[in-house]
Structure 1
Amino acid sequence: MLRWTSLCLLALSIAPAGAAEPKAPEVPPLPKAVASFGAVACDGHLYVYGGHAGKTHSYDTESVLGTFHRVKLDGGTSWEELPSGPRAQGMNLVAHKGKVYRVGGMQPKNKPGDPADNHSLADCARFDPKSGKWEELPALPAGRSSHDVVVAGDTLVVVGGWQMKGKGEKSVWHTTALLLDLNSKEPKWESVAQPFQRRALTATVVGTKVFVLGGLGADGKPTDVFDVETKKWSTAPALPAEGKKAMAFSPSAATVNGRVIVNTVAGPVYRLTEKGDGWEKVGAAETPRMVARMVPFGPTSVALIGGASPDEGNVAGIEIVKLAEKGTPVAAPAKP
């Protein structure tokens, strides 16, 4: 999931006391309505990669993309096409020291109309905006998709997901998180046991801690938290639940002003309390969506990007949600 920490950020001016708050700049719709893609803010731009542009649960070599674009966050009106890469969905992007990283993803090898043949990728690469080129990095120990990736300090962290092995083969759920030291001259992946097996999750970072939010089977369960410095796991409150909808499936998250922000398929935007002992509602999406992405948008807002709407299908629009200064406390969900 996508964060101010370690990113090259967009600076937005703050109006003087008593002045009308300036209208947040708009971001043009994605080049194509897409879900389950990668997105990150870096260098004053929003970068998006790959994703699924077809019908839900129907994957083929035409509906999964390998395209790569960016747009200026401050007043950009059109998307710039960048060098593409492997077709992939169920992956994400992160940024570190002005470069964009992509890790893993799922790639179908079947043509439209043929039986599904989905494979998780082990690819890892970084894009240098200055050179305009991708650079290959050490591959993952095994293919991984439906996971998330973040950067804590100088460490790239991969959590959750599974390995799809193709037609007729059983998928394997990952039991480890992966760490990569981005400052190392010869970076190597390090495996760390994770206390869960989940996919369709999201993650964000506060300081040295990686908050792993949601995922299949996570409804009502505590949020898992990994400390990159100590390499130990702890827990935070479970995601809120509203109605009968599964709050935990494919949410999106970001960190704004050192606080965890998350959006669920039901529409609400929540913030972890300052003490970290509960959640408060600080906004809502006009178009509820899942398998979307969230990036911080200045000091008081987030951008909800793409995804799949339960009512409308894949979404191209980018929605800016201003976060309430004072949130509304949300009751803890019932234990499963």
Structure 2
Amino acid sequence: MKFEVGVMAVLAACGLVWGMPSWAADFPPEMPESLTSFGAAMVGEDLYVFGGHRGAAHQYSSEGVSGALWRLPVRAGGEWVELAGDEPAQGTALVAHRGGVIRVGGMAARNAPGEKHDLHSLDRVARFEPGTGRWEALPSLPEARSSHDAWVLDGRLYVVGGWTLSGAGSGGVFRREMAVMDLTAGELEWEVRPQPFARRALAVVGAEGRLYCMGGMEEQDTSSRVDVLDVATGAWREGPSLPRAPMRGFGGAAVVAGGRVYVSGLSGKVWRLSADGGAWEEAGEWATPRFFHRMVALDARTLLAVGGANGQGQLRDVETLRIGGVMVRDWPQWRGPDRDGRSRATGWGKAWPAEGLPLAWRARVGIGVSSPVMVRNRVYATGNDGGGNDSVFSFDLATGREVWRHTFEAASTHHAMAIVPSGPAATPTVVGGRVLVLSREGEFRVLEAATGTVAWRRHLVGDLGGKRPVYGYAQSPLVHGGRVILDVGGESGAAGTTVALELATGAEVWRGGAGEAGYSSARVVVREGEAYVALFKGEGLEVLAAGDGRTVATHAMTTRDFCNALTPVEVGGRILVSNTGSGPAALLAWRPGEGAMETVWTHGAFAQLFNTAVVHEGALFAFNEQRRSEAEFTCVDAETGETLWVSDAVPTGTFVLADGHWIFQTRQGEVVLAPATRDGLGPVGRFQAVGGRCYATPAFNGLFLAVRNNEGELAVFDARVGRR
């Protein structure tokens, strides 16, 4: 494979672009293991992580508590390095001081796995000196303590909140006092001072002579309370309560950056204390909500969220948030994170240069119509070499360096008609550290995202008893609730032609649905708190219960060769379907268990095949592909089905919505930028990105735009220009 690297990518890789954010800082590597309840601190541009819980929630044992100390040179783009460990602890704190780090207290489990919990808080305090690589014991805490937090302010170490656990059968004793040590004194010793609260799992930071103690759990309930200590006078006052959020302030994390206090919890939102200290203002949002994590500051405007957990389990990732800058968001699957054609990235520049976005790099991936995807610092793409082999590629996002390539046998052509595009049509799905790919002939593979090695595979026809569609499989694998949902297809009317497999193992969980496979990709819709899978199969729309595959609603709709290709579009609880056959597009109302769906309205000039409508400002936007020689970007009122306008300002193609703007890729490989409004279409930027024919959908994460053509030219452009 050959790749062409743009000037900006070369300079970025060499670190020669003054003022350019480090790619390493935008996409730090994952932690070596998933952790919660650990300590973290920044020393210069190095991130240190100590201790933590590595097991399942509320399952404690000596094997599940870490004593490891890790260091990551964030800006330098290095890897995690394990340093000398110390006594294992979770519910611990780590603070930076004079070029080193200090660990404070924590909890150790003395029981083996499966035994009754025997949990003990620790009084251990020790300093790690990077120069010597050794730990030095400091005076022990006056009382053993865990689930607390700590901060160094004006040369003093403050240890606040938490509780004391004393072994099996004993309840935790909440600490109602804080411990303070003057780190500048010749002889180090602890001083015990009262605190006006008893809370654990709280977040503590200090700034401008004040110590902020936020959230946590009281003896009976979670808390959003904020207590503020003036360290000069010793006076406490109550600050503004944390904004309403799941679990309130329990297990939250806080940091000081540029003299301002930031806090985040399970909602994923990042809040900043106002300049006068009287209110909280929203400053950003993490892509992955979490609690029992840590936040650290790389500089005055760059925050990192480290580890933690959420409803899906423990996390290993380190996520970057630039305050007031571009909010970078992954594009991990077909049509974006929610399969609705929307990017979550915000704050990116819309004032494109007249010549268009600068090229970062270009590569050849082989023929195909699958779309690229972006996850963290990787781009994934698929293609066929024309000699009977499909390949899956992993590229470095900034430079285009090929990280790995996985190749397997797959037919290069799929239909006798030359007009039918060749190569893979299914877009990869990246989830949980794995890459899911599907060939036109039905070879489904789950690859490890880090290495490209095969975790497991199934063939939709040979292993799962499916029936190959006329033009080959084109669906992009859907993952929900730890399961992969695949439309394997079958004869008309045949039952059980949609299959759910365990993502971890490939074991079959359920079968549902009926009939021929389509060319559409499924998506999840939620009604009354329950998740359902909407599939536009070859013979119509089916809505299946995500848990067991039961059919809860159907609508018959088909065309020649079962060419239903649009991804179901959710419109306020209703679903839009369309194809390029003789029947009109239809908006359908449905209720679980009622079977047939009700037609709300139809539209005879809103046909979709290679593009899918996007909902915005109460309207539906899509290219009408009924007359393929005409460019008809159409805006339809979502409630009434009335056509509001039709524009030929952009040639037919595919498009995504990002931060109030359309990003188009035309069939001829032109990229066009236009504000997204129901008042009309007015392009504000355009450039020729690739040549040839293009059916793929662009991928956009706020920093980069990736496009490809059918012949296998993948081009990635630097989208950081244009910010004013």
Relative to the length of structure 2, the TM-score reads: 0.41
- C-alpha separation between the residues in 2 aligned to 1:222 and 1:121? 26
Q: How many residues align?
A: 308
- Asked if the contact 1:15/1:22 (under 8 Å) is kept, the reply is no
- C-alpha separation between the residues in 2 aligned to 1:55 and 1:220? 24
- C-alpha separation between the residues in 2 aligned to 1:227 and 1:126? 27
- C-alpha separation between the residues in 2 aligned to 1:314 and 1:150? 25
> 1:307 is matched with which residue?
308
- Asked if the contact 1:27/1:75 (under 8 Å) is kept, the reply is no
Are 2:123 and 1:131 equivalent residues in the alignment?
no
Shift of 1:13: 11
Higher relative contact order by CA 8 Å / sep ≥ 6: 1 or 2?
1
Are 2:322 and 1:322 equivalent residues in the alignment?
yes
The gaps in structure 2 that reach 5 residues or longer are: 1-14, 326-724
State the one-letter code of the partner of 2:239: A
Q: What is the CA deviation profile of residues 205-244 of structure 1, one whole-angstrom value per residue up to 9, with x for unaligned ones?
A: 10221100110147665410112222221121000004xx
- C-alpha separation between the residues in 2 aligned to 1:155 and 1:99? 15
- C-alpha separation between the residues in 2 aligned to 1:96 and 1:250? 24
Q: What is the CA deviation profile of residues 59-116 of structure 1, one whole-angstrom value per residue up to 9, with x for unaligned ones?
A: 1011111011101011333111111011100011001111210000000000001000
Which deviates more from structure 2 when the two are superposed, residues 113-122 or residues 163-172? 163-172
- Asked if the contact 1:41/1:95 (under 8 Å) is kept, the reply is yes
> 2:236 is matched with which residue?
233
CA separation of 1:113/1:174 partners in 2, compared to 1, >3 Å: closer, same or farther? Answer: same
- C-alpha separation between the residues in 2 aligned to 1:62 and 1:296? 31
> 2:201 is matched with which residue?
200
CA separation of 1:268/1:83 partners in 2, compared to 1, >3 Å: closer, same or farther? Answer: same
- C-alpha separation between the residues in 2 aligned to 1:220 and 1:101? 27
- Asked if the contact 2:301/2:323 (under 8 Å) is kept, the reply is yes
State the one-letter code of the partner of 1:324: G
Q: Trace 1:76-91 onto structure 2 (pairs within 5 A).
A: 76-91=77-92
Q: Trace 1:50-89 onto structure 2 (pairs within 5 A).
A: 50-89=51-90
- C-alpha separation between the residues in 1 aligned to 2:281 and 2:173? 35
> 1:7 is matched with which residue?
none
- Residue 65 of structure 1 aligns to a residue whose secondary structure is coil
- Residue 47 of structure 1 aligns to a residue whose secondary structure is strand
Q: What is the CA deviation profile of residues 144-191 of structure 1, one whole-angstrom value per residue up to 9, with x for unaligned ones?
A: 000000000110000000000000122211010110011112111101
- Residue 29 of structure 1 aligns to a residue whose secondary structure is coil
> 1:98 is matched with which residue?
99
> 1:333 is matched with which residue?
none
- Asked if the contact 2:224/2:249 (under 8 Å) is kept, the reply is no
Shift of 1:299: 2.0
Q: Trace 1:230-309 onto structure 2 (pairs within 5 A).
A: 230-242=233-245, 245-309=246-310
- Asked if the contact 2:22/2:75 (under 8 Å) is kept, the reply is no
- Residue 62 of structure 1 aligns to a residue whose secondary structure is helix
Are 2:222 and 1:224 equivalent residues in the alignment?
no
- C-alpha separation between the residues in 1 aligned to 2:185 and 2:287? 43
- Residue 52 of structure 2 aligns to a residue whose secondary structure is strand
State the one-letter code of the partner of 2:177: T
- C-alpha separation between the residues in 2 aligned to 1:21 and 1:149? 30
- Asked if the contact 1:90/1:105 (under 8 Å) is kept, the reply is yes
The gaps in structure 1 that reach 5 residues or longer are: 1-11, 326-336
- Residue 149 of structure 1 aligns to a residue whose secondary structure is strand
- C-alpha separation between the residues in 2 aligned to 1:221 and 1:267? 15
- C-alpha separation between the residues in 2 aligned to 1:221 and 1:55? 26
- Asked if the contact 2:215/2:225 (under 8 Å) is kept, the reply is no
- Asked if the contact 1:164/1:171 (under 8 Å) is kept, the reply is yes
CA separation of 1:149/1:22 partners in 2, compared to 1, >3 Å: closer, same or farther? Answer: closer
- C-alpha separation between the residues in 2 aligned to 1:221 and 1:78? 36
Shift of 1:256: 1.1
Shift of 1:14: 11
Q: Trace 1:115-130 onto structure 2 (pairs within 5 A).
A: 115-130=116-131
State the one-letter code of the partner of 1:277: G
Q: Which runs of 4+ in 1 moved over 6 A?
A: 12-16
> 1:329 is matched with which residue?
none
Larger Rg: 2
- Asked if the contact 1:219/1:238 (under 8 Å) is kept, the reply is no
- C-alpha separation between the residues in 2 aligned to 1:324 and 1:216? 31
* Percent of matched pairs sharing the same residue: 39
- C-alpha separation between the residues in 2 aligned to 1:178 and 1:13? 47
Are 2:207 and 1:213 equivalent residues in the alignment?
no
Shift of 1:276: 1.0
State the one-letter code of the partner of 2:237: S
- Asked if the contact 2:203/2:215 (under 8 Å) is kept, the reply is yes
State the one-letter code of the partner of 1:168: G
Shift of 1:285: 0.9
Q: Trace 1:179-190 onto structure 2 (pairs within 5 A).
A: 179-190=180-191
- C-alpha separation between the residues in 1 aligned to 2:272 and 2:215? 14
- Residue 260 of structure 1 aligns to a residue whose secondary structure is strand
Relative to the length of structure 1, the TM-score reads: 0.87
- Asked if the contact 1:219/1:239 (under 8 Å) is kept, the reply is no
Shift of 1:56: 0.3
- C-alpha separation between the residues in 2 aligned to 1:220 and 1:186? 37
Shift of 1:300: 1.0
- C-alpha separation between the residues in 2 aligned to 1:165 and 1:219? 23
- Asked if the contact 1:71/1:78 (under 8 Å) is kept, the reply is yes
- Asked if the contact 2:258/2:299 (under 8 Å) is kept, the reply is no
CA separation of 1:55/1:184 partners in 2, compared to 1, >3 Å: closer, same or farther? Answer: same
> 1:140 is matched with which residue?
141
CA separation of 1:285/1:14 partners in 2, compared to 1, >3 Å: closer, same or farther? Answer: farther
